[in-house]
Structure 1
C-alpha cells in the first residue's frame, strides 16, 4: 500500500567529514578544539566513542568493513516515532526511518516501493542546514515525485536569524518543496497530508512556507499550535517491538518550568504542559509490553512539579515494569533522602544533571535557582544509591574567571558525578542574557564572543583545563554519544560498571590524541590493547543494523 507520509529522523554527519571541515578553520578554532575531546586516535583512525565500539566489535567478530556493531540510531528517534504515531492515529499510512546512514537501504526501499506522497525531514538536532540538504538530495534521487517537507527547530531558527532578503536563498539551497514553521507542528503535518491526499491547495494549511521562483517566500496563515500531550501521546501498540528495539524514549511534558538566562527554550516552547498520569501509565504499559528494558524520559525537568514526579515513581513501583529509566533531573530542587530512595526503588538507573557551573556567583548569573552545596548533596545521594549521573557544565558564561573555573574543577572532583562534560558557552542572542549585554560588556555571538572577564578562546582554555584536572569523574563526549548513550549501551547488554570502564580506558587513549613520536605511539599501543582486551570480555546483544554499510 502506498504511504501517505514517510518520516526521516536523524542524519548524523560522519565524524571524519566533520573533523576535516573544522580542521580547515585552524587549530585554534573553537569547533576544532571541541572536536579534540570528542574522539580518540585508534590504530591510525580518529574515532568518536560509538565508532570506536563499532571498530572493536568488528575486530572481535571478524565482520567486514560494512559491519555496524554500534550506532545510536538503534534507539528510535522520538520525533519520527511521534509524528508517525500521530498520523496513524488519524488513519493515514505512515512509516519512519530513525537514522539515515545505517537505515539507508530501508529508506531507499520505502521511497521506491511504498512511493510516499510526502516525505518529512525532522531537524531536532541540526544547527546548520547541511544534514537537511543531504537528505533532500538523497530523497529526490530515489523518488523525484514525493513532496519533500522540512520542519522542526532548524526551520524556526533560520526564520528568526535570517533577514527577509536572504531567507529565500537559504530555503532554496535546502531544496525542500514545503517548510513547516511551528514549535510543535504535528497538527500542521496532519492537515498537510490531508490536503495533498485530497488534491487540495496548500493555501488553507497553516504554518507553511515555500519558495516561489527561487526568490519569494510564500507563507500561509500562522496559527501556533498548542496540542494536548494526552491526545497526542504515542500509541505504541501501532509499532512492532522487534522493529523498535529494547530502548525507547518518551516525554511526559513540553517546555521547561525554569528560566535559565543562557537558554531560550521556555520562550520558544511556551508554558509548561503536562501529560496526565493516566496517559503516562498507558504509554509505560505499552512500552513494557513491547519488551523495553530501558526507558528514557526526555522532559527537560522530569522531577518538576515534584508531587507529579512522586506519583510517576509510585506508579512505576506499583506496576513493577522491570525496566530501567533515565531522565533529566534537577537535583538542586530535591531535599531529603526519601525522594532518592523512591527513584532507586522505581528503577532509575541514570540522570542528566544540567549543573552548568561549580561556582555560586556564576550560577546566580545563570539564574539557575540552585546552589553548589545543594548540587553536591544531590550527587552524593545519587552515588549512594548506585544511580549513574552525568553532570553537564558550561565554560565562559558572563562572570566566569580563572577562579570560578577552578571552583568548578574542585566541585567535580569533590562531588564525583559518574560522568561529566564541559563545553564552551554558546552566546544565543535570543536567550535572556542578551538583555544584559551592556552589564557584562558582552559582544559577539555564537562561538565568537567576549565579555568583561573572559573571551571564547579563554573558554576553550578552561575546557582543556577542566578535562585535564578532573580525576574523580569520567569524561563523556558529545559526538553521537552524550548521556543518552548510557541507556543505549545498557540496552545492548553492558553493565553500569562496564560503561564506566569504557570511559576510563577511552580517556586514557584520548589524552594521547595530540601526541606524536615514539613515546606517544608506545602509549597508544598500550591503551589500544587495554581497550581491545576489555571489550573481549563484554557480552553484548547483536546490533539491529548488523552488516549494514554506512555511506
Structure 2
C-alpha cells in the first residue's frame, strides 16, 4: 500500500481537561474549556458524551453513538482522490481513537510505504504525538508524513532553531508545510518508491542524519475543479449521512483577526456546472441527508450564489444543507432561494455588533447588516448561529455590551462567545504598538482590556444569555452538531431543550466549584432532556427558571445594589481565622441560661439579636454576615440598622432580607467574589467578617465548600457562629468558632447578645435606642442608651 491516511484523533477528554487544568484554574484556556463540560462522579462529559450516556428513544431512532465525527473525515476524500488519480493506492483510518484495533492490525500485517497524518482542526500537538507513538510501537519501518493546517502554521510562528526542536519532538519522518499538501504528498510517495532524494520536493521537511532538511517554499495550487471528489472510492456506509463540500478557496476579505490576508492565498471559486456534478455525485451515494458547504464565503459573489440556489431548486436534491453566511452580501431574494433550495441554517461570523470594533477588525459588514439578515433568516425559517469575539483590540465593557444587547434584541437561535485569541500571524499584530498589544495566545493585554477581563465577560454572557437564544458548547458540541442531531431525529425544540439543561449543569459547576457533583434535580432534567420520548412538561421548570439568564441579571442587580459603597473594618476582629479549622470554641446554651422559649425565641429573633449585638460592638450601623442556611445553601445578608426601629421592625427587615437573598443566592458569589466582574461595575469584593451557620450538622461541609470555592470571601471571615438546632424552627444555643486572639471580643459578644435577647423577649416592640447595657454586659463604661448609640454607631 502506498499511503495509509489517518483522519481525526479525538483525545481522551479527561486527559485534555487535566492537561489544561494543570496550567491553573484561573488560566483563560481552562476557563474557556470549563464552560463546555459537566462532571459526573469525577468524570468530565461534553455535550454529546452526555447524550451517549443517557439517550433513550423508541426503536425508530438509531442507537449508534453520537459524535461530531460520525462522518467520513473531510480531509480524507480529497487526499485519497488525488493519490488515486496519480495511480497510487491508499487506505484510511477514519477516526484514530475509535479504530485503533484496525490500525494495529494494518501496521502488523500490511506492507505500508507511508502514513499520512492529517491535522485539519488540531490546536495542539498532543493528538499528533499520540498517533506517532502508536505507529512506532507496532511498525518501525513505515515513513510517517505529517501535514495540514497545524503544520503549515508552525513555519509562520517559529524560527529555524525552534522549528527544528519542535519537529524532533514530534518525531515524524517527513513534514508538509504548504497550505495545500496533496501534491507534496504525491511527490514524497513518488520519490520514496524510486529511492530518490527528497530535496527536489518543495514545502517539506525531512529527517537526514539527525537534522530536518527544510526545502524551498513554493506555492502549491490544486484547483478544486481539476480535482473533484470521487465518492465511488468509498463504501456507502463509510460516507454515511453527512458530507462536507467546499466550492471555493481562501477569502476575498482582509479581516484583521484572520491569517488569510497575510498568507496571500488567491480567492477562487468553482462554477455552477462543477457544483452540480459534485452534488449529483453526492445524491448518487444514496445515504447522504446533510451537506455542509464549508466555504468561508459561500454567498460571494451574490449573483453566483443565487444561480447556485436556483440550480439546486431545479435539481430537487433530497438532502438538507447549512453553510457559513456573510450578512453584508445578502438580500431577501437570496434568503428565500436558500430556503427553497433546502437550507436549514447558517453560521454568522458576527464577531462584534459595535461598528467601531468592526472597523478595527476591518470587517465590511456592520451592525445593521447583521440585524437585517437575522430578521430575514428568521422570517424564512432558517436557523441562525451567531459567533462573537470578546476582547478584540479596542474592546471596552461598553462595546461588548453593545454586542450582547444586539444578541438579545435580534435573538439568533444559537450563540457562542469566544475570547479573542491573539495570533501573531494575523494583520492586527502588525498594529500591536498602536493598540498596545502585549503577549499572545490567551495571555494578552492591550490598551482597553486584558484576556482575564475578556474571559469574565464571556462567562457573564454565558450566565446571562436569554431564551430563545441558546449557548452552544464547544468542544464536544458545536455548530454542525445542531444539524447532525436534526439528522438523527431531534427537533429544534428538543435540541434547545437539551442544551439549556446541559448548560445549567455547567452553570451549577461554575457557581459552586467546591461541590463536585451536579444537584440531583438538575441532573434529572439533563437525563430527561436526552430522552426523545419525554415531553417538555415532564421537566422541572422551576430549576430551568432559576438558572435562566433573566435570573442571573436579576441577581446581578440585587447584589450590586446591596453592596454598593459597602466597606467594613472590624473593631472586634484583628486577624481572619480559618473558620473551617477553628482554633478555639465557646458556646452559649439557651436552656441552661434560661433564654430558651420556643414560643418567643425563633431563628429570625436569634439572628436579629446577633446582628444588632455585632453592629453595636463594632460601631457600624451597616452590618453584613454570611448565612449558611438549613437548606445547605449560603449567601450574605446586609442590614442597615436604624436606631429608631423597634426590635420587631429589625426582625421584619432581617426576615425580608433573608427571603430576598435566598431568592438570588445561586449567582451570589459568582458575582461578589469576582474582582474582574465587580471592577466592571466600579465595585470591589466585599469584606465579610462574620458567618452564621444555621445547621450544626452541616456547617463543617458548608464552610469547607466556601473556603474551597470562594477564597476571596473566605479569607476575611474571622468569627463563625453556629446555631445548634432543636427542630426546623428553633435553636437551643450558639457555638462560636474564632481565633484565640479575639477571646475578649467573644466574651463581649456573648454578654451583649444575652442581655439583648433577655430584653427583646420581654418586649418585642422595644426601641433599639432603648436597649440598655451595663459594665457586666459589655466590659465598657456605663452609658445611657442614647449616648451609647451616638458614640458607637456611625449614622
TM-score computed with the length of structure 1 as normaliser? 0.91
Local SS of the residue matching 1:392: strand
Local SS of the residue matching 2:116: strand
User: Computing the radius of gyration over CA atoms, which structure comes out larger, 1 or 2?
Assistant: 2
Equivalent in the alignment of 2:85: 89
Checking the alignment, whether the CA contact within 8 Å between 1:294 and 1:490 is kept in structure 2 is no
Equivalent in the alignment of 1:241: 236
Shift of 1:231: 0.9
Checking the alignment, whether the CA contact within 8 Å between 2:7 and 2:94 is kept in structure 1 is yes
Deviations 1:225-273 (A, max 9, x none): 1221111221112222211110011100110111111111243260101
Matches within 5 A, 1:218-229: 218-229=213-224
Q: Find the partner of 1:192 among 188, 191, 196.
A: 188
Equivalent in the alignment of 1:23: 21
Q: How many residues are paired up? A: 528
Q: Find the partner of 1:421 among 400, 416, 428.
A: 416
Cα pair distance change 1:226/1:46, threshold 3 Å: same
Matches within 5 A, 1:399-418: 399-418=394-413
Equivalent in the alignment of 1:48: 46
- Whether 1:295 and 2:291 are equivalent positions in the alignment is yes
Cα pair distance change 1:488/1:105, threshold 3 Å: farther
Mapped partners of 2:403, 2:31: distance in 1: 20
Shift of 1:282: 1.2
Checking the alignment, whether the CA contact within 8 Å between 1:253 and 1:273 is kept in structure 2 is yes
Equivalent in the alignment of 1:347: 342
Local SS of the residue matching 1:105: helix
Cα pair distance change 1:42/1:314, threshold 3 Å: farther
Q: Find the partner of 1:9 among 7, 10, 19.
A: 7
Equivalent in the alignment of 2:321: 325
Q: Which has the higher relative contact order, 1 or 2, with Cα contacts under 8 A spaced 6 or more apart? A: 1
Local SS of the residue matching 2:225: coil
Checking the alignment, whether the CA contact within 8 Å between 2:14 and 2:43 is kept in structure 1 is no
Matches within 5 A, 1:368-387: 368-387=363-382
Shift of 1:517: 9.4
Q: Find the partner of 2:74 among 64, 73, 78.
A: 78
Shift of 1:360: 1.3
Equivalent in the alignment of 1:208: 204
CA-based RMSD: 2.1
Mapped partners of 1:537, 1:127: distance in 2: 34
Equivalent in the alignment of 2:96: 100
- Whether 1:366 and 2:361 are equivalent positions in the alignment is yes
Checking the alignment, whether the CA contact within 8 Å between 2:470 and 2:496 is kept in structure 1 is yes
TM-score computed with the length of structure 2 as normaliser? 0.64
Q: Find the partner of 1:278 among 273, 277, 286.
A: 273
Deviations 1:449-482 (A, max 9, x none): 1111101111101101111122031000111322
Local SS of the residue matching 1:361: helix
Mapped partners of 2:514, 2:521: distance in 1: 12
Mapped partners of 2:236, 2:264: distance in 1: 31
| Residue ranges of structure 2 left out of the alignment (5+ in a row) | 535-795
Local SS of the residue matching 1:512: helix
Checking the alignment, whether the CA contact within 8 Å between 1:512 and 1:520 is kept in structure 2 is no
Cα pair distance change 1:203/1:373, threshold 3 Å: same
Local SS of the residue matching 1:222: coil
Equivalent in the alignment of 2:501: 505
Cα pair distance change 1:439/1:204, threshold 3 Å: closer
Deviations 1:40-73 (A, max 9, x none): 234543211121111123x779xxxxx9722222
Compare 387-396 and 525-534 and name the one that shifted more.
525-534
Equivalent in the alignment of 1:64: none
| Residue ranges of structure 1 left out of the alignment (5+ in a row) | 62-66, 540-551
Equivalent in the alignment of 1:544: none
Compare 346-355 and 4-13 and name the one that shifted more.
4-13
Equivalent in the alignment of 1:33: 31
Cα pair distance change 1:271/1:538, threshold 3 Å: farther
Checking the alignment, whether the CA contact within 8 Å between 1:40 and 1:509 is kept in structure 2 is yes
Compare 195-204 and 254-263 and name the one that shifted more.
195-204
Mapped partners of 1:196, 1:517: distance in 2: 55
Shift of 1:518: 11
Equivalent in the alignment of 1:431: 426
Checking the alignment, whether the CA contact within 8 Å between 1:12 and 1:480 is kept in structure 2 is no
Checking the alignment, whether the CA contact within 8 Å between 2:289 and 2:487 is kept in structure 1 is yes
Matches within 5 A, 1:25-174: 25-42=23-40, 44-57=42-55, 69-174=65-170
Shift of 1:304: 0.9
Matches within 5 A, 1:399-548: 399-472=394-467, 473-516=469-512, 524-537=519-532
Local SS of the residue matching 2:418: strand
Local SS of the residue matching 1:230: helix
Local SS of the residue matching 2:75: helix
Checking the alignment, whether the CA contact within 8 Å between 2:254 and 2:261 is kept in structure 1 is yes
